[in-house]
Chain A
Amino acid sequence: MNSEHSFIRYQITGALLTAVGLFAFIWMIRILSNPQAPELLQQGENYRIYEQTIYPVRGNIYDRWGNLLAGNLETYEVGADLRYVEDPETIATVLSTHLGLKYGDILETLKAYSTNIDEETPRYVRLANFVPAEQIALLEKEQERLEEESKKRRLRKGEIAPTLSGLQWSRTMARYYPEGSLASNVLGFYAYMQEEDARGYYGLEEKYNDLLTGTPMKVRWSLDPSLVPEVPNLPPGASLITTIDRNIQKMVEEKLDDAVKNTGSLSGTVIIMDPESGEILAMAVSPRFNPNEYWNIQNVFGEKMNVNRAIDTVYEPGSTFKPITMASAIDAGVVEPSTPFLDTGVYYIKGHAIRNWDRGAWGPQDMTGCLRYSLNVCMAWIADQMGTTRFYEYVNRFGFGHLTGIDLAGEVTQPYFTPGDTYWSDINLGTNSFGQAIAVTPLQMITALNALANHGKIVAPHVVKAIIQNNEKYEVSTQVISRPIKAETADTVSQMLAESVESESYKNAQVPGYRIAGKTGTAEVYDPIHGGYKDGVTNASFVGWGPVDDPRFIVYVWLEEPRSSPWGSMVAAPLFRDIVQGLVVLMDLPPDEVRWQIANH
């Protein structure tokens, strides 16, 4: 009887438990099938999990030999957790002593919040940011000292020992350029102080901002310590290896700074390129800014902010354009080097007179003579012989009016006028032939003229040699953009320009031991305010490449409005010579004779 009762009891208990289980199960299904369930589940998740965006370490920038040009430096944010601040006076004293902050400001901040703590009061206030590690080390020492002292000291009732309790510091990264202002026009800067909105400005930092930044990742952290967090291994941003040689860049910048100072120029620009690959070995401007103090950039450049005049400023190049006209005419079969020309000192294009730079008549010349003595009259005649259609077709083929596509932010171009445009008149054909009334950037000039050094091929100028991403190196290959002229034409003009440089008129550009091809440029400067050209003000340029039989470098020099002399041959040519003299040493380039001996050995 008892066992029967027990059995029934067990059955009832079992049934009840099953019913409760079943009920719970059904109730759970009901909850989960409720339309509000996903929202509520999400709310639950929010209490359990918090999301954080992790930013990768910004990629580095190196020169062509692996020397660091832009890297990262550990800095700290200093703040206070107001819940634990006991002694605001001591914090203010220590921070004003070691970080140079204002005592009153800190004290005011700490007291303002500490005396009025409610729900809306922030628990944390930032007191300083991007504090160098050395200063943090001082704070740490100070903290230790105060702790030691408070242990030794006997406190009276209600007395608080001097303490930094509540003071905190956390790690942040700042961008640092170990070479200072070296190549700052190429590098640009990273405005790290903008924190969440930090990004690169100008040069490589802007152009490759996304690559250098890498891909930020959102990570969900659980507040439950028993749940093992899966921490992603965030790859750093891509690093760039540039084509810049820091030693060449330094040498060029030094010489350019001296030249700008000595000639009283407004600014100076020098570009050195490898003619075959289009790699920029150096791109120097004067003045420059220090990217480590990028906030002062406007003090250097003023409102215009032409940070890199090699690419962001157009000017009328003057006679350095003449090799383009000559090459076009030879390539089109209009003239050849021996073609005679009688310079009477004036040439009329549809009634407009074109005169030489010295207003003189240079008598019988051949085409080499026209280049050697930089005769405007001869160039205008050549352009007239070519005709507008062919002349402008060649100008277009050489890439004028188009961006070169260099991998730097901020490149500009200015279209030139052609027949049919409102502002084009017949005289433009004449003036364009010797580089006036056409505005170009120094980079456009060196890219176009490089076709003469590179057997008729225009190669894309570039500053990035390789990209390192996810520990893999991606090389940037040479890109031939176009072939505006035949190789024979290029070699012919190159020889003509080499003969010019060997003459007495070019003695300031000659580099003993090396055969160089080159051309001076002296251009009048357009006055945008009053119209017409400024009186007695010029832009002086020089372009040259060498060794002529196997060009390894092409150098473009531009001095803006020099005061010591208006002539390119007097101010730009000597700078070119000085640069090439340093360049051949840094490039391990032996004099021609030694090179030929080695080659024949």
Chain B
Amino acid sequence: MVQKTLQQAYQQAPWRKATRKGMLFLILALLFGLVIWISLTISVESAEAAIQINRLENEKEILQYRIATLNTEIAAGSSVQVMEERAKKLGFRPATRDEIVYMTVPAYPGRQTTLAVPPPPSSQEEPILIKTSYQQSLSDLLFQGLSQIEKIPRGAVP
């Protein structure tokens, strides 16, 4: 009986109650902090990733421009006029018909097109790498349903 009374008194002690409340507040505060921290971390990481993507996209564009420019510069450097002048400087001259010897080369397919085909562009069917859900904010996610409801015509079955 005495033990029971003591136990009850211990449980009902004011400092005991205050500690319990304090602990509860601390846990809640910690949980809240954790949520904020996770949210901030995700936001920062996604922002960083977005900036990184932008930077890479810009770099890709610059490289594409550069490739196009270099190809054009190569073409300018190997244009008929330039090649002719270079050949003349090296002591070459156009062959006359009398100097040409024709011969049969078995299985020779003839002159072929040597075309540097442009780099493969993406097609419209290319899978989208970034899911739509990754582009939504929390409010988008919460109120997306509501906006959808508005769009459903009356009497329609969703």
Contacts and interface: CB of A to CB of B under 8 A. Distances in A.
Interface stretch (B2-10, B27-35, B62-70): B62-70
Nearest to B76: A178
Contacts of A178: 72, 75-76, 79
Interface in A492-549: 513
Contacts of A37: 150
B49 interface: yes
Interface stretch (A186-194, A226-234, A555-563): A226-234
B114 interface: yes
A601 interface: yes
Contact of B62 (A62, A171, A247): A171
Interface in A36-90: 37, 57, 60, 62, 64-68, 71-74
Interface in A6-55: 28-29, 32-33, 37
B111 interface: yes
B118 A228 contact: no
A229 B104 contact: no
Nearest to B120: A471
B69 A68 contact: no
A28 B146 contact: yes
A73 B73 CA distance: 8
A231 B57 contact: yes
A241 interface: yes
A19 B104 CA distance: 96
Interface in B14-67: 43, 46-47, 49-51, 53-54, 57, 61-62, 64-66
Contacts of B95: 585
A598 B118 contact: no
B114 A66 contact: yes
Contacts of B100: 585, 590
Given A235-B122, A591-B97, A228 B135 contact: yes
A182 interface: yes
Interface in B110-147: 111, 113-118, 120-123, 126, 128, 130, 134-135, 137, 143, 146-147
A228 B52 CA distance: 10
Given A513-B97, A601-B104, A470 B76 contact: no
Interface in B70-86: 71-76, 78-81, 84
Contacts of B115: 62, 65-66, 241
Given A73-B69, A176-B76, A585 B97 contact: yes
A590 B137 CA distance: 74
Given A227-B50, A239-B118, A176 B72 contact: yes
B118 A471 contact: yes
B102 interface: yes
Nearest to B69: A74
B94 interface: yes
Contact of A68 (B57, B72, B113, B150): B72
Contacts of B61: 171
A590 B146 contact: no
B76 A32 contact: no
B131 to A, nearest CB: 10
Interface in A229-249: 229-231, 233-236, 239, 241, 246-247
Nearest to A215: B124
Contact of A226 (B46, B97, B104, B150): B46
A233 B126 contact: yes
A468 interface: yes
A225 interface: yes
Contacts of B120: 471
A483 interface: no
B23 to A, nearest CB: 18
A358 to B, nearest CB: 34
Contact of A594 (B68, B75, B84, B102): B102
A74 B62 CA distance: 9
Contacts of A471: 117-118, 120-121
A72 B94 contact: no
Contacts of B64: 57
Contacts of B137: 224, 226-227
Nearest to B103: A598
Contacts of A598: 102, 104
B72 A585 contact: no
A64 B113 CA distance: 7
A37 B49 CA distance: 33
A298 interface: no
Contacts of B50: 225-229
B81 A179 contact: yes
Interface string A160-177: 000000000001010010
Contact of A229 (B53, B74, B84): B53
Contacts of A402: none
Contacts of B150: 32-33, 37
B110 to A, nearest CB: 8
Q: Which 10 A-B pairs have the closest CB atoms?
A: A66-B115, A235-B121, A233-B122, A68-B75, A71-B72, A178-B75, A178-B76, A590-B102, A74-B69, A225-B47
Given A71-B75, A171-B62, A179-B75, 6 more contacts: A65-B114, A66-B115, A227-B50, A468-B117, A471-B117, A598-B104
Interface of A: 28-29, 32-33, 37, 57, 60, 62, 64-68, 71-74, 133, 171, 173, 176, 178-180, 182, 222, 224-231, 233-236, 239, 241, 246-247, 250, 468, 470-471, 473, 513, 581, 584-585, 588, 590-591, 594, 598, 601
22 contacts: A28-B143, A29-B146, A29-B149, A66-B114, A66-B115, A67-B78, A68-B71, A71-B71, A72-B65, A73-B69, A176-B72, A178-B76, A180-B81, A182-B80, A226-B43, A226-B137, A227-B50, A233-B126, A234-B121, A241-B115, A585-B100, A598-B102
